[in-house]
Homo-oligomer: A and B are copies of this chain.
Amino acid sequence: MIASPSDNPGVRRLIADVTRGRDLGDGEVRERLAHATWSTLCEPGDGAAGAAISAFGAEDALRRLVDGTLTEVPGIAARTLRDAMARWTPRLAPDAVESALRIASAAGVGLVIPGDEHWPAALGDLGAHGPICLWVRGDTSALSRLEPSVALVGARAATSYGEHVTSELAAELAGSGIPIISGAAYGIDGVAHRAALAVGGQTVALLAGGADRPYPAGHAQLIERISTHGVVVSEVPCGAAPTRWRFLQRNRIIAALSTATVVVEAGWRSGSLNTAGHAAQLGRALGAVPGPITSAASAGTHRLLREYAATCVTSADDVRDMLGIATGGSTYVADGRPDTDQSSRVRDALSARVWRDAADLARRSGLSVGEVEGVLGLLRLDGVAESGSSGWRLLTPGSAPALF
């Protein structure tokens, strides 16, 4: 049913094409063809297919499926396997994979399979539900340089606030060498890609349909630019349409590829919450940008803060913290509380107008004379107080701190 590549020089040439001219042995060609074929047989995230490929290798698993001898897969219940085969078999068409390869070859889309030099190791965390292969348009090698990387995702119906914040975060992170991963959708996704491109940074777009099919159509030009300066990726074969299921599964790849996922704006039921859920499930760092609670476009990010314990992201430094990259620039205060020590009391007791001696200050501050004298010494060092023959006074009344 499936053409053997050694029988079909056309298919062999297509496989060579999508492998970017690398010189391939017969075994490699067959292995690649088998992965490509599996990606036409099953929908993304098919754990039974993943288990079969993991048990027998893509080529042998495929042969068994065609022969009708795929009767047992370790870890998969017989009933589940029967159901899975009932899903795969209707798609065993001789020309399906050839068609996908032909489109890929024509559109300059490459094929990457597990074990390839640039296969992203992070996808291993998806286990049997990981992609069988990736269809890639652009710089394939970028896929092996995604640690660290950040997914910036969010609502298609973004507000100007969300777009502004996305643009700032993406530009600063991409500008400092951190790849920005997103889904090329309208709204937050598109702004994230654009800002990364604008600063000459790396960006990766994950599509729910084939890598040859720009979606949404209004982002065709943007996706073209991403494929030139970054990389466009899909796990479904070329020619495949984006479907709701594929969008949801595409999200798991965004989450898995990224060291951290940050949702900038999201409605209460936004699809980006799905990406966030995958990130949390995979143990990836999850961040959410807060916004006005009066904005429906922030309802989803607030939900992530409240229900998923997402990190509250207010700056690129916050994201770097999530990635474990030392920021240094921030001046965090140890405990976030105003100074509550005795010096507050003594400062309260000091006047800028009149001189007061230590005994007077002790009475006014409720401290002992000894404590007051100790504090006064420090206040003098800090340039806050000065001493004279009649006692002490505040040195710079204009700069005296407000109560808070």
A residues at B contact (CB < 8 Å): 42-43, 46, 83-84, 86-88, 90-91, 156, 161, 164-165, 185, 242-245, 247-248, 269-274, 277, 289-294, 298-299, 302-303, 305-309, 311-315, 318, 333, 335-338, 340, 344-345, 347-349, 359, 362-363, 365-371, 401, 403-404
Contact = CB atoms under 8 A, between A and B. Distances in A.
A173 to B, nearest CB: 15
A2 to B, nearest CB: 17
Contacts of A46: 366
Contacts of A345: 43, 243-245
A163 B395 CA distance: 36
B244 A366 contact: no
A118 to B, nearest CB: 27
A294 B161 contact: yes
Of A86, A87, A299, A315, which is in contact with the most chain B CB atoms at under 10 Å from its CB? Answer: A87
A251 to B, nearest CB: 9
A314 B299 contact: yes
Given A42-B366, A293-B313, 5 more contacts: A83-B370, A165-B293, A269-B338, A272-B404, A292-B292
B348 A274 contact: no
12 contacts: A43-B365, A83-B371, A86-B371, A91-B363, A165-B294, A248-B340, A290-B293, A303-B336, A305-B305, A306-B311, A306-B312, A309-B309
B336 A292 contact: no
B403 A247 contact: yes
A396 B262 CA distance: 35
A302 B165 CA distance: 15
Nearest to A347: B244
Given A248-B344, A294-B161, A337-B273, A87 B362 contact: yes
A338 B274 contact: yes
B337 A277 contact: yes
A161 B292 contact: yes
Contacts of A90: 359, 362-363
B366 A91 contact: yes
B277 A87 contact: no
A300 to B, nearest CB: 8
B292 A291 contact: yes
A292 B289 CA distance: 9
Nearest to A304: B336
Contacts of A42: 366
A366 B87 contact: yes
Contacts of A403: 242, 244, 247, 271
Contacts of A349: 243
